[in-house]
Amino acid sequence: MAFFDVDNTLMRGASIYHFARGLAARDLFTTRDLLRFAWGQLLFRASGTEHPQQIDAARDAALAFVAGHDVNDLVNLCEEIYDDTMADRIWDGTRNLVRRHLMAGERVWLVTATPVELADIIRRRLGLDGALGTVAETVDGVYTGRLVGDLLHGPAKAAAVESLARHEGVDLDSCTAYSDSSNDLPLLCAVGRPNVVNPDDALLDHAHARGWPVHEFRTHRTALRVGVPAALAGAVAGGVTMSVLRRRARR
């Protein structure tokens, strides 16, 4: 069994941010909300680390947005946005790693803090076996704005994988896991074959010290750590510009 993180491991950037951009493009997400997502991404890509306050802010923004919305409506939007803006962000190198496991007859699961609905769409598009993600509470097919359990992040990922392994009767010592972030060390340490993909500095040091395989699919690592925030800032600036133009056109 192989477990893959999504953001910056399987896909360039944060899947929830790309989803937010897709919603903004459809006038279903405000420029202010997009700025909040972008700011967290700017800090993350500039520092290579995630901070609890950034994680909490992203979680709260996402939950506040989905509250009161129909589950099926948002899932349909997820499908559309994935095909439009996210499918071409899958790292070719990571896709090849996934294929190797599938061709070897191993089951492949995604394990991500991304909402489980979005994770499940990525799973289906790539022909994988399952997806573990953050679960938002629903009542009668409508999001309440609360979580079921915790954000699937850090130690929670390891706990989720351990629970799945017990349910499936799988020995984690025979399993493989892939991640880019030192926040996922609990997950990587839970399996017998940890791998790092496009690692942050702390995870790279950890991998070198323990002889873990390192997969680097970024062409120019330093340039990307600077360039991705610049690209996000440009996208946000473009969103602000479009918002202003729309308001002017309505006058």
Report the alpha-carbon distance of residue 65 to residue 59 in Å, rounded.
10
What the block records as the tokens of 189 is 């340490």
Paired with 197 in beta bridges are 215
CA neighbor of 89 nearest in space, from 206, 251, 198: 198
Task: Name every residue whose Cβ is closer than 8 Å to that of residue 190 and which is 6 or more positions away in sequence.
Answer: 158, 161, 162, 172, 177
d(C-alpha 108, C-alpha 130), whole Å = 7
For the question of residue 120 being annotated catalytic, the response is no
The whole-angstrom separation of Cα 179 and Cα 214 is: 10
Give the helix ranges, DSSP H, for 116-220: 116-126, 155-168, 185-190, 201-210
Q: Is residue 27 flagged as an active site residue?
A: no
Task: Give the SS3 label for residue 245.
Answer: helix
Q: Which residues are catalytic?
A: 5, 7
